[in-house]
């Protein structure tokens, strides 16, 4: 591998940097989503909605204490601001959560784009070197031309390999973000409906009492 790397020429060094950056981001995002899945507590989310349906806000505060579920954090934000603007509060909290989920995704996108371009740059420089060698050497020494051709092929392959291996986790992480956004929208809407029914029901009872 070291021999192949050296044959690729100077462009292999930025390609190596791209591969290290992409691998680091993929590992970091994988750890993030593993932890996110570990902190998810669907039973608690359902329980919070039931407590909200009953208007038991004190019990909600007790039950959600210490929870690291991002759905719970968004619902709690709405509950805390329920008398002012529940929807705006949840939208703001959801925006923060989605921003956290999208962290470093731009770097992966850049590596997917840049790696093949660097590979093609190596191809061009390798071909240039081959033609220069062809003009300067005699036919008895064709190995100098082969060096440039090898450099052109190696850098192209390296750039494509980096991009291909990065695009799979990139698409997977994007799909996770989309699924999380749908879940956030679902439970935020559920909480909004529950709270509106509770408020309307309270208003009807008060009118009946009058």
Tens of pLDDT, residue by residue over 87-146, are 999 999 999 999 999 999 999 999 999 999 999 888 888 777 766 666 555 455 566 566
**DSSP per residue, 98-138:** HHHHTTTHHHHHHHHHHHHHHHHHHHHHHHHHHHHHHHHS-
Q: What pTM value is reported for the model?
A: 0.84
Residue 141 inside a domain? The answer is no
Any domain includes 35:
yes
From CA 22, how far away is CA 116, in angstroms rounded?
13
How many domains does one find in the chain?
1
Predicted confidence at residue 55, as pLDDT, reads 85
Whether residue 4 is contained in a domain is answered as: no
Structure tokens given for 50: 């039931």
Instruction: Give the separation between CA 26 and CA 76, rounded to whole angstroms.
Output: 30
Is 78 in contact with 87 (CB distance < 8 Å)? yes
Residue 160 lies in a domain: no
Q: What is the mean pLDDT of residues 7-33?
A: 92
The whole domain housing 73 covers 10-114+166-209
pLDDT digits (tens, 9 = 90+) for 65-75: 888 999 999 99
> Is 76 among the domain residues?
yes
**Structural domain contains residue 159:** no
- Residue 102 included in any domain: yes
- CB 119 within 8 Å of CB 156: yes
In a domain, 15, yes or no: yes
């Amino acid at each position: 591998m070291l021999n192949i790397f050296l044959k690729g020429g100077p462009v292999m060094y930025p390609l190596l940097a791209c591969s290290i950056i992409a691998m680091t981001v993929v590992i970091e995002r994988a750890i993030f989503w593993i932890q996110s899945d570990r902190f998810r507590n669907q039973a608690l989310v359902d329980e919070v909605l039931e407590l909200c349906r009953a208007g038991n806000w004190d019990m909600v505060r007790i039950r959600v204490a210490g929870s690291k579920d991002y759905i719970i954090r968004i619902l709690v934000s709405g509950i805390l601001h329920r008398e002012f603007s529940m929807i705006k509060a949840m939208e703001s909290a959801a925006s923060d959560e989605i921003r956290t989920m999208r962290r470093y995704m731009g770097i992966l996108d850049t590596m997917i784009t840049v790696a093949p371009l660097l590979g093609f740059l190596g191809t061009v420089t390798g071909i240039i070197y081959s033609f220069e060698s062809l003009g300067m050497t005699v036919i008895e020494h064709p190995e100098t031309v082969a060096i440039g051709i090898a450099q052109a092929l190696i850098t192209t392959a390296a750039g494509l390999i980096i991009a291909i291996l990065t695009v799979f986790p990139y698409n997977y992480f994007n799909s996770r973000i989309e699924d999380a956004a749908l879940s956030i929208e679902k439970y935020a809407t559920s909480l909004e409906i529950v709270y509106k029914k509770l408020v309307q029901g309270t208003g009807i009872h008060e009118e009946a009492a009058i």
